[in-house]
Amino acid sequence: MFPLIIFMFLAPFQLQSEILVDGYAGKSILILTGQSNMAGRGGVANGTWDGYVPAECRPEPRILRLNPMLRWEEAHEPLHGGIDPLNKTCGVGPGMPFANRVLERDPCIGVIGLVPCAIGGTNITEWKRGSYHYNQLLKRANVALQDGGQIRAILWYQGESDSLDIISARMYKARLIEFFLDIRGDLACPELPILQVALASDAGPYSEVVRKAQLEIKLPNVTCIDAKGLEVMENNKPHLSTSAQVQLGKMLANAFLHNGI
């Protein structure tokens, strides 16, 4: 009787472990990068996260994240905790609602491996090939591939910092195209799908210049998800609210599924 009780106690943990291990070889890898709205500031005010996790952001054994120690673990909010610099508080972002919506709509996809790489406050030049953040992105992506799986897409949300001055805003389109082409080349995936988000709010005086650049990108397999109109927190502009992050995650998932990525 005693061995049976032990087995019943350990079985759920063994099953979860098998899900994690068996899912490595065929997992779908998603790279999440950009700046603070991708890192997630939903529910953050005055440097503190309220801790609220919507149902759409719930942990799920088939959703993993590559943690700061470059190890896979079950993903949970805040997804970018320990990835975005430690002095920046992370909250809810689009990654978990994205992954949960994809699993809900396509349960046969198997295990999803999220690779958080976003860094708050960065401008596009800080993601230029050879830069620290670019190299970290490459490192984390390559580690994610070591035990199997395929990079299915990059989710990119960035541009608020480039809307603060006219020179950066006018150069944004060319620099963004260069980044997309470089990262595809260095990941040896010249047609890697990229889901990019057009700015939700007027972060700077030249936000519309940056938005126009984002909406005009015509590279193959680059899809633009327009976040304009999503709720921005009054006490933490230009960051999306928790509910807006959930909505954005679903929009990204719908684009991912619609394009058959």
pLDDT of res. 261: 65
Q: Is the pLDDT of residue 9 over 90?
A: no
pLDDT of res. 10: 39
Which whole number is the average pLDDT over 242-258? 97
- In the structure, what pLDDT confidence band is assigned to residue 2 with cuts at 50, 70 and 90? very low
pLDDT of res. 232: 94
Q: Is the pLDDT of residue 257 over 50?
A: yes
Q: What is the pTM of this model?
A: 0.90
Q: Give 200's contacts (C-beta < 8 A, 6+ positions apart).
A: 37, 227, 228, 229, 230, 232, 238, 240, 244, 248
Give per-residue pLDDT as tens, 12-61: 433 343 444 444 668 999 999 999 999 999 999 999 999 999 999 999 99
* CB count in 10 Å sphere of residue 42: 31
CA separation for the pair 161, 123 (Å, rounded): 5
pLDDT of res. 18: 40
Strands laid side by side in the 112-116 sheet: 72-74, 63-66, 112-116, 28-34, 150-157, 194-198, 222-226
Q: Is the pLDDT of residue 6 over 60?
A: no
Q: Quick check: helix, strand or coil at residue 168? A: helix
